[in-house]
Amino acid sequence: MELLLATAIGAITATGVYLALRSRTFELVLGLTLISYAVNLFIFAMGRPVAGRAPILRDGVPTTLEHYTDPLPQALVLTAIVISFAMTAVLIVMALKLREVSGGDHVDGGDPSGDHPTDDDGGPKRGAP
Amino acid sequence: MPLQLLAALALPWLAALALFALPNGRRNTAAAIAGGATLLAAGLLAMQGPAVFAGDVPRFSWPWLPFEGAGFGLRVDGLAWTFAMLVLGIGALVVLYARYYLSADDPMARFYALFMVFMGAMLGLVLADNLLLLVVFWELTSISSFLLIGYWQDRADARRGARLSLTITALGGLALLAGVLLLGSIVGSFQLDAVLAAGDTVRAHPWYAPTLLLILLGAFSKSAQFPLHFWLPQAMAAPTPVSAYLHSATLVKAGVFLIARLHPTLAGTDLWFYVVSLTGLATLLTGAYIAMFQHDLKGLLAYSTISHLGLITLLFGLSTPLATVAGVFHILNHAAFKASLFMAAGVIDHETGSRDMRRLHGLWRYMPLTAVLAIVASAAMAGVPLLNGFLSKEMFFVETLQLGSRPLLAAAIPVLATVAAAFSVAYSLRFIHDVFWNGEPVGLPRKPHDPPFWMLVPIGTLAALCLLVGILPALTVGPLLAVTATPVVGGTLPDYSLAIWHGFNLPLLMSMLALFVGVALYFMLQRLFRLHDLVHLPRGGREVFDATVAAAVRGSRALIDLLVNGSVQRSVLLITLAALALGLWTVFATQPAAVPLPVAATSAGPVAWTLWLLTLCSLAALIVRHRERLEALVYLGVVGLAVSLTFGALSAPDLLLTQLLVEVASILLLLLALNFLPRRSSRTDPPARRWRDAGLALGAGVGISTLVYAVLSRPRPDSLAPWFLENAIPGAFGTNAVNVILVDFRAFDTLGEITVLGLAAVLVAALLPRLRTAATVGTPGAGSEAGRSLMLEITSRVMLPLTALVAVWFFLRGHNLPGGGFIGGLVLAIGLLLPYLGSGVDWVEQRSKPRFEAWIGWGLACATVTGLVSLALDHPFLTSAYLAPVLPVIDKVPIATAMFFDLGVFLTVAGAAALALTRLGRLSGAPDDGGRT
């Protein structure tokens, strides 16, 4: 079971990183969503979850880790899930704004046609001061 | 009376609050508030006088952070009392002076407000009974003096001077903090009483040297000691009342105050002797030498201040009981004559429009009253007999002759002291002779005359004090000096006599020699070397500082250029690489100590295998087909579903619910957004780059997998988990341990998180157009009349009240069973979106216009107020209580007050999620290009 959980988290991370490195805003949003899944699962896994020991206290059962899983990572992940939803919303709106301003959906703005030649790093360089 | 102490300290701060609210035009009101507060505070402290003189130490104390050893306490011994009276007394005079000095254009209330902040900080610094509190006030003086020096914020030199002084004194403050922390850990307490009593322990401790050097660095930076003195002349860009206050009696004296305060603890070693006295000597000579060549009145006074601070430091460095008394005496004398000289310089500047001694001449005829007062004060500065400066300088000379055990210094210090005294006579004479005689004024903008009477009062008061102390020292200042110096000497006072005449002796000879040499030196400089043509720009500290700042700015720019060039892809790449590198470094560079044996793995059932296969297949499909966006969303949804089921299978029902709801909401958001984005991604990344990214992604995935497996296959370390489980019912009255953590044990975190959530939703609302754009009206689409599904429309109307009911149910049971504010809020938000999807924006907005922003506000208010109530009942913020009111019909209702907090969470989450969803939903009537307004 540990192996399955570990490989699944790794696979989600890998897919998330790959998509986040793509040049379109939509893929970036997908990639970051996947990465947040992976991070949430990671934190959750640090509490050594096991089946059938939900941290809902029952009468007559001693309050030890023999009978319940660690509630703290769950509490951390719960708020993280909600916050990552809010960040997804912000990212989407920024992607929409970007399209409104630049006409394209390249992460660096510009390229309304969607088929501009890429240089080394992709996207137009705005140049630093 | 302890409360009087607190009131005295609070008065300047309260006055500052009042002054910040006062319009700048109310000049007299502003001055009256500032002056009144200062006098009242001085009166309250003066009432402590009899007790202090009787040898008592009045105190006030209040536990502030008791577990960290930081108490908020005040302690008035002789040293603190005298310094506090100095701060308030000279403060009151400067308040009066500033009222006439500042012009009608200067924002008067702001000046006095900042002035009061500074005064309050200074007062706290001298009265603090705890070293940590002292450091806090120390930093406050740095910040408020920054604001005062930069008061004329439209002037570049004022801004530069303020920045320089802040940088130097704040860096010194950091050193002081480090030193104080070391000192506190040596002594075992930060309380001044304990620290002062622990001198022997401290001096014998191996950390004595770093502690001493760090504390001295702080003191020296504040007191402008060589080589950190260069900020003080730059700070002369401040209005003159500020200079008169900060650079005579207060800010720069904070450094020597600290040296005096900790003298009993730290002094008495060779290290102290050499570091403190040699720094003081270098400062004394440098300052006095440069002062002679300044053409600016305030520049001369600035370097002279540096030199006198050096003298005081040197005396504390010599550290004999008599030298210490002399140092304290000179602090008082210097405050009196330097404050009056700065104010006199300000009067001259104010009345003539110039501070340049190459143009100011012969003012004796135009402003005789100012001249008389300035002459008295400069004579005190030069150390002329019958004035206070003479007495402390005489004591200084006596002490320079007592260095028998160190032959080299015994020969050098008396000579160098006489030389510095001669320089001091020369620049004092220049201040008088150049300005009031030496020919006629050159090209002054207006004809000078004596200033208004009230501007002369403060100068006159201080000049009179110089004379009085100089003529009748034993009667006037004797008892005060004794009570001030006792805590600095750290025991019993030495025998000394405050008299003008001690007979013909070597110190008197040195004084006379200095006087004659100084006078001769001045006239020689004027006549033989044409002093006015000498331009002596001291170089060094400031240039080094400027070069350092410029290099830091260049370095930062270069680093930014290297890392961020405007390409998001590149930034993501760098972040991923950095994370990978950091992970690898952790594995290879740190030696994982004694790896415990892997624990036996638990077997995986069919459910686990199914979820695993589902996840991996969806991810594979996502990678291959991610350019078909609608399809990609389906795969993403499947992964999300698998993740939530994993939570469910591994004993986390709350997470299962939350992830499921967020999944629904996220997919809805992304679907709505797809309305405005291309349905397909065009392929732009070249294959080489895709393979490179794939390699990188693989590395990240393998790394994370290894890490997770490594952790899971080892025994669980001790954690906080048992505590939360044991205390859930007795401490927070709930059986759902996750919800209990969220709304009670870690509720402060949750409050921060829902605040972020609310902000994000408001940001979404602000970025999207507030109203529907013209293009969306009447066009066919999901939200308009034409493209609607009757089925969805009817269902959504029925569903809304039902979902609301489910949301409330989840919320109410949350404290004891899976559910709670987060889950209930998300259910409600999705329910609220349904009518928008089913019936269209128009239909909804004709009937009601829910203001979800207000929900966020009410939710945050509800959560915060819950916390404040427990604070008001004398419990820590957000402590939970258990109520069991008996209601009619329903009978007894058990409620934990955390329920009200959770209600705030519920409202905020519902409002934020609904706001984000419906704002995007409103736009959804628009066709592909409708997003562009």
Q: Determine whether the interchain pair A25/B677 forms a contact, defined as Cβ–Cβ distance below 8 Å.
A: yes
Highest mean pLDDT among B59-63, B513-517, B814-818: B513-517
pLDDT digit string, tens, across residues B527-584: 776 766 666 666 667 788 888 888 999 999 998 888 887 788 888 888 999 999 988 8
| Average pLDDT estimate for B144-167 | 90
Q: How many domains would you assign to chain B? A: 2
- Residue B206 resides in a domain: yes
Chain B residue whose CA is closest to A91: B764
Give the model's confidence band at B927: pLDDT under 50 very low, under 70 low, under 90 confident, else very high: very low
Beta bridge partners of B74: B60, B128
Which residues of chain A are within 8 Å of residue B688 when distances are taken between CB atoms?
Answer: none
Global pTM?
0.71
Confidence check: pLDDT of A127 > 50: no
CB contact under 8 A, A74 and B676: no
Residue B797 lies in domain: 736-933
Q: What is the pLDDT of residues A102-119, one digit of tens each?
A: 777 787 776 544 444 443
Are A108 and B662 in contact (CB < 8 Å)?
no
Contact B148, B187 (CB under 8 A): no
pLDDT band for position B592 (50/70/90)?
A: low
Do A92 and B612 make contact, defined as CB atoms within 8 angstroms? no
H or E stretch covering B333: helix B321-352
Closest CA to B298 of B365, B371, B232, B388: B232
For residues B104 and B24, what is the distance between their CA atoms, to the nearest angstrom? 10
B754 domain residue, yes or no: yes
Residues A55, B651: C-beta atoms closer than 8 Å: yes
Question: Does the residue A80 lie in any domain?
Answer: yes
By Cβ distance, the residue of A55, A57, A72 closest to B729 is A57
Helices (H) and strands (E) in chain A, counts: 3, 0
Please report residues of A whose CB lies closer than 8 A to that of B931: 96, 99-100
> Given this model, what pLDDT does residue A117 score?
40
The pLDDT score that the predictor gives to residue A116 is: 41
Task: Report CA Rg, chain B.
Answer: 37
- The pLDDT of residue B398 is 85
> B507 preceded by cis ω (within 30°)?
no
| Per-residue pLDDT, B680 | 80
The set of residues, in sequence order, having a beta carbon less than 8 Å from that of B803 and lying 6+ positions away, is B827, B828, B830, B831, B834
A68 vs chain B: nearest CA distance in angstroms?
8
Q: What is the pLDDT, as a whole number, of residue B924?
A: 55
Range of the domain at A42: 2-51+68-102
Q: What is the pLDDT of residue A12?
A: 94
Among B489, B505, B533, where does a domain finish?
Answer: B533
Residue B83: pLDDT band by 50, 70, 90 thresholds?
very high
Show the CA angle centred on residue B113, arms to residues B112 and B115, nearest 5°: 60
Among the candidates B492, B510, B533, a domain finishes at: B533
Is position B688 within any domain? no
What local confidence, expressed as pLDDT, does residue A93 receive?
Answer: 86
In a domain? residue B496: yes
The confidence score (pLDDT) of residue B886 equals 63
Distance from CA of A112 to the nearest CA of B (A): 11
- The pair phi, psi for residue B444, each rounded to 5°, is -80, 145
Q: Model confidence over B750-776: pLDDT tens digits?
A: 999 999 999 999 988 888 764 343 334
* Contact: B636, A30; criterion CB under 8 Å: yes
Tell me what the mean pLDDT of segment B152-173 comes to. 89
A71/B701 CB distance under 8 A: no
CB contact under 8 A, B666 and A94: no
| DSSP code string of B258-308 | HHHHTHHHH-SSHHHHHHHHHHHHHHHHHHHHHHHT--BHHHHHHHHHHHH
Read off the tokens for A119.
């240089």
Residues of A in contact with B611 (CB under 8 A): 8
In A22-91, beta strands by DSSP E: none
Q: What is the pLDDT of residue B540?
A: 66
3-state SS, residue B104: coil
- Over 50: is that where the pLDDT of A129 sits? no
A41 with B643: Cβ contact below 8 A: yes
For chains A and B, CB pairs below 8 A equal 347
Residue of A8, A17, A41 lying closest to B576 (CB–CB):
A17
The residue to which tokens 């291959």 are assigned: B624
Query: For the segment B652-705, what is each residue's pLDDT rounded down to a tens digit?
Result: 898 999 999 999 989 988 888 887 778 787 777 788 888 898 999 999 999 999
Number of domains in chain A: 1
CB contact under 8 A, B709 and A38: no
Nearest to B651 among A14, A49, A116 (CB): A49
Asked whether the beta carbons of residue A20 and residue B735 sit closer than 8 angstroms, the reply is no
Contacts made by residues B509-512, CB under 8 angstroms, sequence distance 24+: B510/B397, B510/B414, B510/B417, B510/B418, B510/B421, B511/B383, B511/B385, B511/B390, B511/B393, B511/B394, B511/B397, B511/B421
Beta carbons of A10 and B768 less than 8 Å apart: no
Q: Which residue has the higher pLDDT, B447 or B54?
A: B54
Give the tens place of pLDDT for each residue, B219-236.
Answer: 999 998 888 888 888 888
Among chain B residues, the shortest Cα distance to A41 is held by: B643
Q: For A44, which of B655, B705, B728 is closest by C-beta distance?
A: B655
Do B436 and B362 meet the contact criterion of CB atoms below 8 Å apart? Answer: yes
Note the pLDDT of residue B779.
39
pLDDT tens digit sequence for B893-907: 566 777 888 899 999
Q: Best interface-test mutation with B: which of A3, A43, A53, A96 has the largest number of B CBs within 10 A? A: A96
Give B761 to chain A, closest Cα distance, Å.
7
Residue B783 confidence (pLDDT) above 50: no
Kindly give, in sequence order, each residue whose CB lies less than 8 Å from that of residue B760, ignoring residues fewer than 6 positions away. Answer: A83, A86, A87, A89, A90, B912, B916
How far apart are alpha carbons B916 and A94 in whole angstroms? Answer: 13
ipTM field? 0.86
Nearest chain A alpha carbon to B760: A86
Residue that is written with structure tokens 């209600």 in the block:
B903
Q: Chain B residue closest to A113 (CA)?
A: B682
Question: What is d(CA B809, CA B824) in angstroms, rounded to the nearest whole number?
Answer: 8
- Please indicate, yes or no, if residue B619 is contained in any of the structural domains: no
Percentage, residues of chain B above pLDDT 70: 92
Of B499, B533, B567, the one marking the end of a domain is B533
Neighboring chain A residues of B770 at a CB cutoff of 8 Å: none
pLDDT tens, position by position, B105-146: 888 889 999 999 999 999 999 999 889 999 999 999 999 999
**CA nearest A58 in B: which residue?**
B735
Chain A neighbors of B709, CB-CB under 8 A: 2-3, 6
Please compute the mean of the pLDDT values over residues B467-480 and round it to a whole number: 84
Distance from CA of B905 to the nearest CA of A (A): 11
Contacts of B479 (CB under 8 A, 6+ apart): B53
Partner residue facing A51 (CB), from B609, B650, B678: B650
Q: What is the pLDDT of residues A51-84, one digit of tens each?
A: 888 888 887 777 777 788 888 889 999 989 988 9
Report the residue from A44, A116, A127 with minimal CB separation from B652: A44
Q: What is the pLDDT of residue B780?
A: 40
